[in-house]
Structure 1
Amino acid sequence: MVKLEHAEQINFKLRDGITLSGHLFKPNGLTKYPIIIFITGSGGLSYEMDWQEESFYFCRTLVNISISEGFAFLLVNKRGVGRSEGNWKTQTFYDRAEDIYDVILSIGKRHEILEKHISIIGHSQGGWVVQLLASHYSDLLKSALSIAGPAYSVQEQIIDNIKTSMIIRGYYHSIKWLLPIFRFTFTSYQLLSKKIKLGYLSYILDYDARNTIPFIKVPTCFVFAENDNLVPLEQNEPLARKLLVKVTVPYKIIVAPGVNHSFAKSKKYQTWEEIESKASPEFTKMVKDFLDWTRAEL
């Protein structure tokens, strides 16, 4: 199990002068190697939590699998998280994609990174950012992996999240009359946000992946979790298939069975208090399959 202190601490100066902090993990025994860049999801927690709390496993698992397969792995804190400067709460997904673009250009200049062998992985909201990057930078990226990245809009994802929370809390019979109220509220907030920014949601609420996925230019793998309470499989997997029909680069759509949004073993509507917080075998298989696909087929 690789330790955080074994990684190279690295900083990236962005085009607007902001500095992002990160850690670069390198595979043993190699002088040149491909690299994976990870894009975090929502919230303000640093990836460093994976090395501080045993129940946090997502980034740690990705790192261990990737370096064992001969890939370097780069973790970067978004603005305002960890030692990174700035404020992610005033960023759109397009802004976050631009930040990662600057990181890609910077890391690609290092002599040990194989040219044209830079791939990206993003989870949840990070999946939205991965999709954006994959729709623009075919000259920079070899492959992309969207893990539980929604195929629809931010507003739809929030409404689905609310619906799931109500079901878990036993308010199933209230959904029918409460959801229209929530939809009206978010639509009104979205319209207001075009005039004035009031909180983080006002920067992202108008985003819809339907305007991005059909234009993907980088070989991309979409993975959805069977029992995802935040990005429901039944809404997102069929939509992703529909949106990818005219995409001309290789792509894959995979459903990981028996896991939740964070790819821990879980039944539908189970909470974290009811399950074991650790990476599932399905998570490990999904990552290894993506690395094999990237290395052998593309």
Structure 2
Amino acid sequence: MGYYIRVEKGVNVYVEDVNPTGSKTILFIHGWPANHQMFEYQFNQLPAMGYRCIGVDLRGFGKSSKPWESYSYDRMANDIRIVIDTLGLEEITLAGHSMGGAISIRYMALHGGHKVAKLALIGAAAPVFTRRSDYPYGITAEEVNKLIEETYADRPNMLSGFGDIFFARYVTKDFIDWFHGLGLMASGNATAKCLVSLRDEDLRNDLPFIQVPTAILHGKHDKICPFVLGELLHQGISNSVLIPFEYSGHGLFYCEVEKFNQELVRFIG
């Protein structure tokens, strides 16, 4: 079941709702630069186990509206709040991958964890995606700037390069082509504007506001959000558990799909 939710004048976000009668709800927030379809191999399995799986296309991505401005973490966290309230969700598990994990953290701080019972951070681009003078982790701001330049110059080629380091295990050419297509569904401008947010946002002060049980699922071979980011999140979030994926890169939800689904189900209960 798919529908649109108005989050502000002229901006609607697309929501895919699978198994609406499921006993427990997981709200999936995708990473840059994809959309909710990246969780296909969760939506294929988890509803059969009784879970309600809801995927949101963030503004600028997938089937959602693509405004010119407003791609801060605050704005996108506000969008998530409107989705949760519009659907009348209660006691959900909020599951965010990469940039979606960062936005989920901001949601927990900005909205006091409203209606969230558990949090799953999947290869999250947090607590900070880029290096600082007091934070020697992640990629450099210059590397992100290069991605921004490449987005405006040759976005398909940029996405191909990004896809080459996304998965740590062999995937077929057909799968790579499908995954590449998810990125092409986004607005080029939104793709670049979200890179600015990834480069500049700092979530270290948000972590103490997370007061729900939190699972940190992170690939040991992640070349986009290094495993140390998962360790830092574990240190900064009370009542958290770090679940390493020994054979995965950034795409752990596919590299070790069976383990991923099992660990998520075990955590949610």
TM-score for the superposition, normalised by structure 1: 0.64
Q: How far did 1:203 drift? A: 4.2
Question: Is residue 59–residue 65 contact of structure 2 (8 Å, CA) maintained in 1?
Answer: yes
Q: Name the CA distance, whole Å, in 2 between partners of 1:226 and 1:286.
A: 13
From 255, 261, 266, the equivalent of 1:292 is: 266
- Aligned partner of 1:185 in structure 2 is none
Q: How far did 1:36 drift? A: 1.1
1:141 equivalent in alignment to 2:116: yes
- Aligned partner of 1:129 in structure 2 is 103
1:75 equivalent in alignment to 2:49: no
* Pair 1:230–1:19, CA change in 2 (3 A): same
Aligned-partner residue type, residue 150 of structure 1: A
Q: Name the CA distance, whole Å, in 1 between partners of 2:142 and 2:244.
A: 19
- Aligned partner of 2:30 in structure 1 is 40
Summarize the alignment of residues 206-217 of structure 1 with structure 2, pairs less than 5 Å apart.
Answer: 206-217=200-211
Question: Is residue 141–residue 199 contact of structure 2 (8 Å, CA) maintained in 1?
Answer: no
From 2, 24, 48, the equivalent of 1:9 is: 2
* Pair 1:232–1:160, CA change in 2 (3 A): farther
Question: Is residue 231–residue 261 contact of structure 1 (8 Å, CA) maintained in 2?
Answer: yes
- Aligned partner of 1:267 in structure 2 is none
Q: Name the CA distance, whole Å, in 1 between partners of 2:143 and 2:198.
A: 17
* Pair 1:122–1:88, CA change in 2 (3 A): farther
Deviations 1:241-283 (A, max 9, x none): 3212xx3xx321111111111027xxxxxxxxxxxxxx23x33
Choose between structure 1 and 2 for higher RCO, CA contacts under 8 A separated by at least 6 residues: 2
Aligned-partner residue type, residue 119 of structure 1: T
Deviations 1:209-234 (A, max 9, x none): 2122222122211111010011111x
From 124, 128, 134, the equivalent of 1:153 is: 128
Q: Name the CA distance, whole Å, in 1 between partners of 2:259 and 2:77.
A: 27
From 63, 76, 92, the equivalent of 2:72 is: 92
Question: Is residue 90–residue 203 contact of structure 1 (8 Å, CA) maintained in 2?
Answer: no
Q: Name the CA distance, whole Å, in 2 between partners of 1:33 and 1:161.
A: 46
SS of 1:209's equivalent in the other structure is coil
Q: How far did 1:12 drift? A: 0.8
Rg larger in structure: 1
Question: Is residue 26–residue 51 contact of structure 2 (8 Å, CA) maintained in 1?
Answer: yes
SS of 2:60's equivalent in the other structure is coil
SS of 1:223's equivalent in the other structure is strand
- Aligned partner of 1:103 in structure 2 is 83
- Aligned partner of 2:186 in structure 1 is none
Q: Name the CA distance, whole Å, in 2 between partners of 1:202 and 1:285.
A: 33
Q: Name the CA distance, whole Å, in 2 between partners of 1:239 and 1:147.
A: 14
Deviations 1:185-215 (A, max 9, x none): xxxxxxxxxxxxxx62444433112122222
Q: Name the CA distance, whole Å, in 2 between partners of 1:258 and 1:162.
A: 25
Aligned-partner residue type, residue 62 of structure 2: G
Gaps of 5+ in 1: 1-7, 49-57, 109-114, 170-198, 265-278
**Percent of aligned positions that are identical:** 23
SS of 2:257's equivalent in the other structure is helix
* Pair 1:116–1:78, CA change in 2 (3 A): closer
1:259 equivalent in alignment to 2:248: yes
* Pair 1:88–1:103, CA change in 2 (3 A): farther
Q: Name the CA distance, whole Å, in 2 between partners of 1:15 and 1:219.
A: 31
Q: How far did 1:76 drift? A: 1.7
TM-score for the superposition, normalised by structure 2: 0.70
1:238 equivalent in alignment to 2:212: no
Summarize the alignment of residues 113-124 of structure 1 with structure 2, pairs less than 5 Å apart.
Answer: 116-124=90-98
SS of 1:23's equivalent in the other structure is strand
Gaps of 5+ in 2: 132-137, 145-160, 166-191
Q: How far did 1:104 drift? A: 0.7
Question: Is residue 226–residue 256 contact of structure 1 (8 Å, CA) maintained in 2?
Answer: yes
Q: Name the CA distance, whole Å, in 2 between partners of 1:116 and 1:84.
A: 24
Q: Name the CA distance, whole Å, in 1 between partners of 2:212 and 2:115.
A: 9
Q: How far did 1:160 drift? A: 8.9
Aligned-partner residue type, residue 81 of structure 1: F
SS of 1:142's equivalent in the other structure is strand
SS of 2:91's equivalent in the other structure is strand
